[in-house]
A and B are shown apart, each in its own frame.
Chain A
Amino acid sequence: MSVQAPAAAERARARAERDYARREAMLAIGMLAPAVVFILLLVGVPFGLAIYYSLHDVTTGGTEVRWVGLRHFAELVRDRVFLRSLSNTLLFTATTLVAVLVLSTVLAELLMRDFRGKWVVRFLILLPWTAPVALGLIGWLWMLDSVFSPIDWLLRQVGLLGQRGAPLGALPNLYWLGDPVLAKVSIVLVNVWRILPLATVIVLAGLNSIPRDVIEQTRIDRAGYFRRLFDITLPMLSPILLVAVLFTFVFTFSDMIAIFILTRGGPANMTQTLASHAFFTGILGGNLGRGAAIALFLLPVLAGVSALLLRLIRRSEVT
């Protein structure tokens, strides 16, 4: 008895440990399951469906599904609107990205300093982020209205518009969303307005993470403002700046709300992007197969650029 007792206790402990390990594994599965199910249902299923549709002739007009192979893709490559959508997507993303990067760095630098009324500035910068997207965009729709635009009114008041010989023309309005070039400018403007708050907060966090000693050391080391900015601040900021780039890129590249509310792709499909073109073709136009094929063009670019950026972020981390 006295000899067997330790062995029995040993067995009991081993069993308790096994039970505990099993319970822990169950807990892990239980905690992960909702996220996995969520991703499978909301990302995996539509994604599979999109691939399936893009290879078949599917419309909202009937229940017939016919295999067409790569015909949708072959047609798209010859489609002028599709090609313009593709170039617009790249153009909007690139210009938005550059504008957001420069402006967010400037604003973050500004917010690092102490000045009177700083909280008002911070409040105003963050305001677009707190407003619902659709509401903000409808506000912009008014701002850019073809007749009642306050921007045009302001330009008329200062004499830049609406008179004979005025620099911006004699017409009373600029027709922001009606002119092919101005419509594109408007889309980029609104995109920048939407993303700037988030980017500014990200860059601000990055600036705050640079040790004060290092910045003071550059002053002791006789570096001027621009050397400090380009040689010290920006390189040390680069990991977090790349996060801002990633967010801005993914947001603008796949966005269609701004297009949908402001221009509906017009005038004459001049502001169409991949996302909006896919929506208008597939959902509103009823050609689900072709819409799916357009949307699938987003995938390789998004995946490729995101992977590249994540790699860069990892490499540029210094500590």
Chain B
Amino acid sequence: MAKLTVRDLHTHFGSVRAVDGVSLDVRDGEFLVLLGASGSGKTTLMRTIAGLEKATSGEVIIGDRVVNHLPPNERNVAMVFQSYALYPHKTVFKNIAFPLEAVGTDKAKLKERVEWAANLFGIGHLLDRKPRMLSGGERQRVALARAIVREPNLFLLDEPLSNLDAKLRHQARHELKKLHQRIGTTTIYVTHDQVEAMGLGERVAVMNFGKVEQIGRPSDIYREPANTFVARFMGSPAMNLILRDGEVLGFHPENFLPVSEQFQPDPDALRLPFVVSGVEDLGADMLLYGEVPGADTTPMGEAREVISKLPARLFGELEVGEQHEFFVRSRAVKRFDPMTGRRIDARAAA
């Protein structure tokens, strides 16, 4: 176990700046999620930390040691690839044992460690099988068991859940979190799924074009996005952005409510007319799609469509095509600079 420090790291491929000046401080035992769309540089950042890519400049420090010049096998990091990268000709036991065999662990210790790791993931009964005889979920567990079997300094996970179906992913996410609480290894987790990031991370770093846009606790990033990119990336559906009086106003769909008996606006509330154009009933919630007359498209070209998320029981009071008065409580309105996209109100997080 160790802390990880990244200082002004650049990893370029020719003229492509995949990682373009990233600095991170990850505490010993912390669970950090790197979140970004494909091509944002999150995987390259992780591979540079692992030593699979060579840093163009900057420093990677694991524990107190600068590891830039060290090959992956001397960094004592464990990694789980998106494809799991199991050794297809080896049994599950041999797969999990491989990192231990490679450093010459004695037989008795090896057997004990492999069985410990396998039982941790509930795959003790599969040790004699080959990877091709396993389901996707079982393969993922084998890959995780192989990663933790040797007490690494760092645990790097590259979208380990993206090959699982939705139901399994939910369960695996929960198990990963429990596992981390149990073994406490410093973990870097790469994903493009903001729901995973919110659910798993102690802190989340949102990446875009090789840079970290914002880093912080998931709830802070969600509630107080530092710029319009982060605002549009987090949440499903994402924050509404409209241009009004030379400012971009942002508010979450669940804070965009109809003026009614249940929902009373405060004196400073942002009041907006809303024309409903479509309704989506999701069971527990209801999504109203529509437009705010008079609001312009932002210079960043965000869609003019505005979404309201309401408890489903309100359905029926709002008719498609009608105009209603909606409001956002003043505390829930975020203000952004229309040109740079940065937050300009006082509550903006650092």
User: Which one of B52, B73, B81, B132 lies within 8 Å of A223 (CB-CB)?
Assistant: B73
List chain B residues, Cβ under 8 A from A316: 89
* B52 A221 Cβ-Cβ under 8 A: no
* B89 A220 Cβ-Cβ under 8 A: no
Known: A221-B99, A222-B99, A223-B98. A318 touches B89 (CB 8 A): yes
User: Which one of B73, B82, B103, B146 lies within 8 Å of A219 (CB-CB)?
Assistant: B73
List chain B residues, Cβ under 8 A from A232: 87
A236 touches B (CB below 8 Å): yes
B287 touches A (CB below 8 Å): no
List chain A residues, Cβ under 8 A from B88: 214, 236, 318-319
* A318 B132 Cβ-Cβ under 8 A: yes
Min CB distance, A98 to chain B, in Å?
Answer: 23
* B85 A222 Cβ-Cβ under 8 A: no
Known: A318-B132, A319-B132. A223 touches B102 (CB 8 A): yes
* A236 B102 Cβ-Cβ under 8 A: no
List chain B residues, Cβ under 8 A from A132: none
* B85 A216 Cβ-Cβ under 8 A: yes
Q: Which of A217, A231, A235 has the most CB of B within 10 A?
A: A217
List chain B residues, Cβ under 8 A from A224: 73, 102
Mark out the residues of chain A between 200 and 217 whose CB falls within 8 Å of any chain B CB in the assembled complex.
211, 213-214, 216-217
Q: How long is the Cα–Cα vector from A224 to B74 in the complex, in angstroms?
A: 10
Known: A318-B88, A318-B132. A220 touches B77 (CB 8 A): yes
A227 touches B (CB below 8 Å): yes
Q: Mark B39-53, 1 if CB is under 8 A from A, else 0.
A: 000000000001110
Min CB distance, B86 to chain A, in Å?
Answer: 8
List chain A residues, Cβ under 8 A from B87: 214, 217, 232, 236
Mark out the residues of chain A between 201 and 257 whose CB falls within 8 Å of any chain B CB in the assembled complex.
211, 213-214, 216-224, 227, 231-232, 235-236
**Nearest residue in A to B156 (C-beta to C-beta)?**
A220
User: Which one of A211, A220, A236 lies within 8 Å of B73 (CB-CB)?
Assistant: A220
* B83 A219 Cβ-Cβ under 8 A: no
B122 touches A (CB below 8 Å): no
Q: Mark A150-179, 1 if CB is under 8 A from B, else 0.
A: 000000000000000000000000000000
* B102 A222 Cβ-Cβ under 8 A: yes
Q: Mark A117-149, 1 if CB is under 8 A from B, else 0.
A: 000000000000000000000000000000000
Min CB distance, B90 to chain A, in Å?
Answer: 8
List chain B residues, Cβ under 8 A from A235: 89
**Nearest residue in B to A221 (C-beta to C-beta)?**
B99
Q: Mark A278-319, 1 if CB is under 8 A from B, else 0.
A: 000000000000000000000000000000000000001011
B71 touches A (CB below 8 Å): yes
Mark out the residues of chain B between 276 and 326 whose CB falls within 8 Å of any chain A CB in the assembled complex.
none
B78 touches A (CB below 8 Å): yes
User: Which one of A211, A214, A220 lies within 8 Å of B50 (CB-CB)?
Assistant: A220
Mark out the residues of chain B between 93 and 141 whose CB falls within 8 Å of any chain A CB in the assembled complex.
98-99, 101-103, 130, 132
List chain B residues, Cβ under 8 A from A223: 73, 98, 102
Q: Which of A213, A220, A319 has the most CB of B within 10 A?
A: A220
* B99 A213 Cβ-Cβ under 8 A: no
* A221 B50 Cβ-Cβ under 8 A: no
**Nearest residue in A to B72 (C-beta to C-beta)?**
A219
A interface, size bucket: 20 to 34
**Nearest residue in A to B52 (C-beta to C-beta)?**
A216
List chain A residues, Cβ under 8 A from B82: 213
**Nearest residue in A to B94 (C-beta to C-beta)?**
A231
B79 touches A (CB below 8 Å): yes
Q: Mark B57-82, 1 if CB is under 8 A from A, else 0.
A: 00000000000000111101111011
**Nearest residue in B to A318 (C-beta to C-beta)?**
B88
Mark out the residues of chain A between 52 and 74 whose CB falls within 8 Å of any chain B CB in the assembled complex.
none
Min CB distance, B12 to chain A, in Å?
Answer: 17
List chain B residues, Cβ under 8 A from A319: 88, 132
* A211 B85 Cβ-Cβ under 8 A: yes
List chain B residues, Cβ under 8 A from A222: 73-74, 76, 99, 102-103
* B102 A217 Cβ-Cβ under 8 A: no
Q: How long is the Cα–Cα vector from A227 to B76 in the complex, in angstroms?
A: 17
Q: How long is the Cα–Cα vector from A71 to B101 in the complex, in angstroms?
A: 60
Min CB distance, A233 to chain B, in Å?
Answer: 11
Q: How long is the Cα–Cα vector from A231 to B87 in the complex, in angstroms?
A: 10
List chain A residues, Cβ under 8 A from B130: 318
List chain A residues, Cβ under 8 A from B51: 219
* A217 B89 Cβ-Cβ under 8 A: no
List chain A residues, Cβ under 8 A from B85: 211, 213-214, 216-217
List chain B residues, Cβ under 8 A from A318: 88-89, 130, 132
Q: How long is the Cα–Cα vector from A231 to B95 in the complex, in angstroms?
A: 11
List chain B residues, Cβ under 8 A from A236: 87-89
Q: How long is the Cα–Cα vector from A42 to B79 in the complex, in angstroms?
A: 57
**Nearest residue in B to A239 (C-beta to C-beta)?**
B89
* A227 B102 Cβ-Cβ under 8 A: yes
30 A–B pairs (Cβ distance < 8 Å), ordered by A: A211-B83, A211-B85, A213-B85, A214-B85, A216-B52, A216-B72, A217-B79, A217-B81, A217-B85, A218-B102, A219-B51, A219-B73, A220-B72, A220-B77, A220-B78, A221-B146, A222-B99, A222-B102, A223-B73, A223-B98, A223-B102, A224-B73, A224-B102, A227-B101, A227-B102, A231-B98, A236-B88, A236-B89, A318-B132, A319-B132
Q: Which 10 A-B pairs have the closest CB atoms?
A: A213-B85, A217-B85, A221-B99, A222-B73, A318-B88, A223-B102, A219-B72, A213-B81, A222-B102, A235-B89
Q: Which residues of A contact B (CB under 8 A)?
A: 211, 213-214, 216-224, 227, 231-232, 235-236, 316, 318-319
Give 12 new A-B contacts, CB below 8 A, not counting A222-B73, A222-B103, A231-B98: A213-B81, A213-B83, A214-B88, A216-B81, A216-B85, A217-B85, A217-B87, A219-B72, A223-B73, A223-B98, A318-B130, A319-B88
Q: Which residues of B contact A (CB under 8 A)?
A: 50-52, 71-74, 76-79, 81-83, 85-89, 98-99, 101-103, 130, 132, 146
